Chain A
């Protein structure tokens, strides 16, 4: 399969809090991709910045032939990306990685996102709602402006709980009862987390106690994105002992019980 695509940017808007929302026309990609997978984007031509930047899908809209990402400006690459005007062509590899293993028969799932890490969970929630699966959402961020996807989720009938550093509600100790209550909702069959290792550890503990399979989408500095260069290592437990897997190709979604969350 050829994973090289030229995307045409149709929208690239500042959403405040350092976040941008980029929509691009890429019909093949939109049809092939699944929630939890990502695109590996050349943010600018030339050799500075030199490497691609990986972005999980925020929304997949095959009917419109479009893919959407939500990103935070953190360095040179994302800064240059934020300057791109609609109509610009983008060189991207994708869809890459293993997506979320959404159970087609799940009655309900839980999503737990922090900051920009919420982005891939929105694509997952949309797919869940489309198959009739209920979604419970707990979203965490520095402040209310940095919560993403809450209105979209609400429009799909998802009950969203938000916690923030600013209101002093986002500490894992305070999230714990909220998360426990959400996991205890009848029919919760799977749980998914992204954006915080602390929240991932919390979810792993609470989900394991309830026998609910839990998955996290991980982040690591990435090279090729295709599993060839072995730089985006993630430490995992296996029956033979601890080893490294590739975030790009074995993940980015891993069962939480498998990963070593340092």
Chain B
């Protein structure tokens, strides 16, 4: 706790102009303000097409969702210019959060009929575009992030045509309470391997789950706990998102 005043959360936003289709910037804003209110420093740097990333310079890498064409552009760029750095970053414990399209790109590949988009291969999963109806709606999942049996709820909204299948050794982020999740039928949502997290809860999921924003800040900085904030509005928004999902 004593270090919190001197700590700085260093975020790398990957393709913030292209992979932001569902207002992903709400997540960065959430992290920024909640650091600021606790006198934790906050830095965000953008890494766009063709720009390399420094694996040791950031505590959290954020990759959001984009339109199909933009996702394709970014996937190729990720593999060409950023894969090794992101593997190195994740390897030393930096957080990597992939949301929606960004989640799909954490795996091996995204197959769309005849076409295949390459992924980072940070986790053992693949995504296959379904010809059926898109999986759209409010969603709530139950997670146990610290592995101590304390279950908490993440609520949000999902909208995806891809069905994501986890490899045999891979663990989901959580269990679907309401909504579709990875495939619409597996009951599993997202992926979690150490500091790498992926989820279909898209766009501004941190505003709906302020507790998760704090978990990310603490985990990224290696802090056990953060100062409490006046979270009346945050708690109400979380409750509202859960009600919208029906839990």
A and B from one assembly? no
- Chain A interfacial positions (CB closer than 8 Å to B): none
Chain B positions near chain A (C-beta within 8 angstroms): none
